[in-house]
Structure formats: C-alpha cells, structure tokens
A and B are shown apart, each in its own frame.
Chain A
Amino acid sequence: MSARIAHIAFNTFREAVRDRVLYNLILFALLLVGASLLVGQISIGIERIVIINLGLTAISLFGVAIAIFIGIGLVSKEIEKKTLYTILSRPVRRWEFIVGKFGGLAWTLIVNTLLMAIGFFAALLYSAGGFSGSDLWLLVAIYFIVLQFIVVTALALLFSAFSSPTLSAVFTLALFVIGTFAEDLRAFAAMTQGATRWLATGVAYLVPNFAALNVISSVAHGQSVAGALVFYNTVYSLFYAAAAVSGAVLIFDRRNLK
C-alpha cells in the first residue's frame, strides 16, 4: 500500500519536474530575489529589510502560484485525459491515488522552496557579506511558507477532485486571499450579532489561516518567532491539509469517471 502511494508520489513529482511552467515560475522568483538586491542598494540603510521582504514574498507568492497551477490539474486533468483508466484498473485504491498525488506535489514544492531559498540566501550573503544570528528566524519564516504551500496544495487537490481546472484555480485563489485576512474576518465576526455571527464565525474558522503563517515583515526587522507559534502553526497546517485531503478522498471515491 505505502509502496504504491510512494510510486504515485514519485510519478507526480516527475511530471511536475518535466513541466515547463514550473521552471518559468522559479526563474521569475529568482529574478525577483535578484531585483531586490538592486532595489536594496537604492534605499540606503534598509537593504537587508528590502531583500528579505521582497525575496520571501516572492518565494511565497510564486510558490502559491505553482501549487495552484499544478494542483488544479492533479485530478481533473487525469479524468479529462482518461489517463486514470489504466491506473484505476490496477490494484490501486482511489484513496491511495489521492494521497500519492498530494505527496508528490507537496514534495515538489518543498524541493522548489529549497532551490529558491538557496537563491535567496545567496543574495543575502552577497549583500551582507556574512550570516548573522537573526538569519535563523529567516529559516523559520521559510518553514512557515512551506506549511502555507502544503495547505494550498491540499485545497487545490480538493477542488480538483470535483470541479474543472479553471474553477479549481478560482476557488483556491479566492481562499488564499480570504485566508490572508482570516484574522480580520474573525474580528469582524466578533462584532456581529445573532445568526450572522454564527455564520461569520463558522466561515472565519473554516477558512485557511494564512495570516498566522506570514512572519515575513517581523523577521525582516530581526524579530524572533515564538516557539509556541511554530508548534501551533505546524499542527494547524498538517491537520488542515489532512482535512482537505480527506475531503478529496471522500469525493473522489464516489466519482463516476467520464
């Protein structure tokens, strides 16, 4: 069972690696990191801050773009193209397929982030001439970005299990934007009354909590990140992703293929 999941994951990774879109996006991200070097030199005194802000934001946004681009096609493309026919006629359970796909894409994004992070640290090293103690927190920020990718991937997979690639992209993107303001949404919900309050609070808790995963501006200013925050963010991201993947399994298990 786990061997099959691993094989599906590896094949998904291989598919992503051979997809040209991936390289374009990575290239763009690295270009932005390089550009931040230039911009940093113009604004004196905040070079490091600019590089970190721009660099990490680029990694974050482009990674989300990759997760969406590839994630939306994970299931729906296979159904469209009927490549699933020869997969599901083999001893592969439907849930193994979903979990394998998720694993493959998550792995793709982790490798991506690694590459972009190397480029980022190279830029930082070049401008600062060395590493400093507060660079540790940059790693934490990047770790949070990876957690963010995992959640986005899980959501893209969930939508891909029942809707077309275009709609999946729209939904996932919408949830990404809303999730960025999840904390404000909860604050807003707390200000309402009655039935609206129930509804708003429910939605505000269901929406992915990306606000907490973004510590870019504070690490840019050398602030530390609380250990408790790392713990809770990890727990949250993993369980939220698990929920989305479970949803995908439940939907896909019942789906009549075209």
Chain B
Amino acid sequence: MSAIEISGLSKSYRIGFWRKRPVVALKPLHLVVEEGEVFGYLGPNGAGKTTTLKLLMGLIFPSGGSARILGMEIDDPRMKAMIGFLPEQPYFYDYLTAPELLEYYAQLSGVPAHERRRRVQTMLERVGLPDVGRLQLRKFSKGMLQRVGIAQAILHDPKVVFLDEPMSGLDPMGRREVRDLMLGLKQEGKTIFFSTHILSDAEALCDRVAVLHKGELRGVGAVADLTAATHARVEVLWHGLEALPAVAALGAECHPTGESVRAVLAEEQVDAVLDALRRHTARLVSVTPVRTTLEDYFVEKLAPTPAEMAR
C-alpha cells in the first residue's frame, strides 16, 4: 500500500458570468508516493500545486479521477486522523492563544484527553515556541505562525504530512529550522509531501520530486537520478602541466591555474585521461563527478512542449 495514490485526479473551473468558460486548474494527474518518502512537488506559481493539495484534503472536489491516502478514501475520517496539513500562509483563529489553538486541534484530531496538554507542550517546544502561553495569535509574527502551523500538522503524530510552501516568508534561520524539523520527521518514518518553488530546498530534502506546470505533470523521478546528467561529466584536478596537451587532445576542457589544471570531460574518457596523466607522471588531486542541478532539470521541464509551441 502506498502512502499516496493519485489516479487521474483533475480539476477544472467554469468562470465567466454565465459560467461557460472552463479553466483547467489540474489536468488528470497520476502519481504515487511511497511510505517513508520525502516527496517534493515542484512548480512555478499557479502550476496547480495548491489545487492538488486542496483536492487531497477534501477542501475542493475533483472534476474527475480519484485518490487514496494510506489506502483510504479522501473523505475517510480514519485517514484524516493519520495525516497532517500545513496550508500556505496559514491563518488561524486569532482570538486564541497558541496552546488553546493546539488543544482545540488536538480535540478535533482525536488525541485522548489525558494526553493533550502534554502533547501540546511538547509540540510547542519542538517548533521553538516554548513561552507563548498567553499571547493571542493575532500578535504573532509570520515566522511564529508558521511554526504554530507545523505544530498543528504534527501534533497528533500523523503518518503522512502535507506541507504547502513550508518555507515561504521565512528568514534563512527559520528555513533552516524548518528543514531540520522535516528531516526529523523523516527520521521518524513519516511520509512528507511538500510543495515548493524553491529548488535548493527540494534538492536538499527530497528523495523524489515531481514537476508540475500549467496543471500538467512534466516529470517525476528520484533526485539522484534526475541530477545524474544524461551526459555524465567528470572533473579531474591535477598538478603538472606536461599532461595538458595529451588530455586536451582527448577532447577535455582544460583550465590551467599556475601548476594546477582543472579539466572537465565525459565519463567515458576518464580512464584514458588517467592513463595520460600516469604517462606524464602528473600528480592527481581529485576525480569528481559533475552533477547537473535540479534547476537545470526544472527549467528543461518547464520549456514549452511541442504541442504548446504549435498552438
């Protein structure tokens, strides 16, 4: 059983005064996320990431297709007890204090009465808000609200956690803390599905990613695989200029700096280059694979499809 199974889920709206023009927010989506994965849902603004999350949370209803979380239907309360959700730019009841809010959420999530207070306190400490007891939420800063948001998403120990742009609006310190939190959740064996348009975060955290653009899935895969370039390249660093012509003759890009040379060459050529270096008794410093970044992959996937070009 997968953690999340999306089968052809789609959503279109009818807008306009007479509600005639359909706007497709999400084209039929097929996606599977396994338990224990950290899954990044990438895409520019307006791609349909939030729409997907709202569909999964049952906040809006699909125009077609279906989805299952932990093997159960979207509207199954048993399933909802096992998931947590942090919306983008969350807004909470601002007349409540943080403990009151979390206690309320704990009640609704079915946390047993005798556990609630302890759980709430633990959560507040975990997200770095140990002393906000009496302060009403309307007085919280954005960063503090985000932490409360994470707290409410995990306080009932869910198996799957959904986060919509969890880093948005945070300063670098805040983002670091959120990242650490997410890694901590991963270590607890939780599945994390989060959407973002910040690729460096995704690259650092995710096992797999999907790229969404204009409501359409453009690519899915493990980060490692995606960043292993189709044209795998290798960087070789050595001392000794004598080998340079031989290496260059093999077709490598060479960049000498004083006595050191840095060359970038195709993976297939590594053995030949190393032979050349040995023949010329150069001193090898390092052999490092050069990876494309996730950004390259992302930009590539966002390029217009032939269909779009033809339009």
A contacts B: CB pair < 8 Å: yes
Are A91 and B81 interface neighbours, CB within 8 A? yes
Q: Is there an interface contact between B90 and A18, defined as CB atoms closer than 8 Å?
A: no
Q: Mark B37-69, 1 if CB is under 8 A from A, else 0.
A: 000000000000000001001111100000000
In the complex, the answer to whether A85 meets B59 with C-beta atoms within 8 Å is yes
Least CB separation from A19: chain B residue:
B95
**Known contacts A15-B93, A83-B92, A86-B85, A91 near B61 by CB under 8 Å:** no
Contact A93 B108 (CB under 8 A): no
In the assembled complex, the Cα of A87 lies from the Cα of B93 at a distance in Å of 11
Hey, which chain B residues are within 8 Å of A90, CB to CB? 80-81, 105, 108-109
The residue in chain B whose Cβ has the minimal distance to the Cβ of A86 is: B152
The answer, among A14, A15, A82, A92, for a CB contact under 8 Å with B108, is: A92
CB atoms of B93 and A11 under 8 A apart: yes
Chain A contact surface mostly: loop
A78 CB to closest chain B CB (Å) equals 9
- Determine the chain A residues whose CB is within 8 A of the CB of B59 once the complex forms: 84-85, 88-89, 256-257
B interface, how many residues as a size bin? Answer: 20 to 34
Q: Is the interface of B mostly helix, strand, loop or mixed?
A: mixed
**B91, A83: Cβ atoms closer than 8 Å:** yes
Are B93 and A7 in contact (CB-based, < 8 A)? no
Q: How far is A85 from B86 in the complex, measured between Cα atoms in Å? A: 9
Complex contact B87–A82 (CB within 8 A): yes
Q: How far is the CB of A18 from chain B (nearest CB, A)?
A: 4
A195 contacts the other chain (CB 8 A): no
B124 within 8 A of A: no
Give Cα A148 to B153, complex, Å.
40
Docked-complex contact A89 and B83, CB < 8 angstroms = yes
Bound CA–CA A93/B61 (angstroms): 15
Q: State in angstroms the CA–CA spacing of A82 and B87 once bound together.
A: 9
Q: Is the CB of B77 within 8 A of A7?
A: no
Q: How close is A148's CB to chain B, nearest CB, in angstroms?
A: 27
- Across the interface, which residues of B come within 8 angstroms of A85, CB to CB? 57, 59, 85, 87, 90
Mask: chain A, 1-32; 1 = CB below 8 Å from B; 0 = not = 00110011001001100110000000000000
1/0 per residue, CB under 8 A from A, across B104-115: the answer is 110111100000
Chain A positions 58 through 88: 1 when the CB is less than 8 Å from some CB of chain B, otherwise 0: 0000000000000000000000011111111
Apart from A4-B108, A89-B84, A91-B78: 4 A-B pairs, beta carbons within 8 A: A7-B108, A84-B59, A90-B108, A91-B108
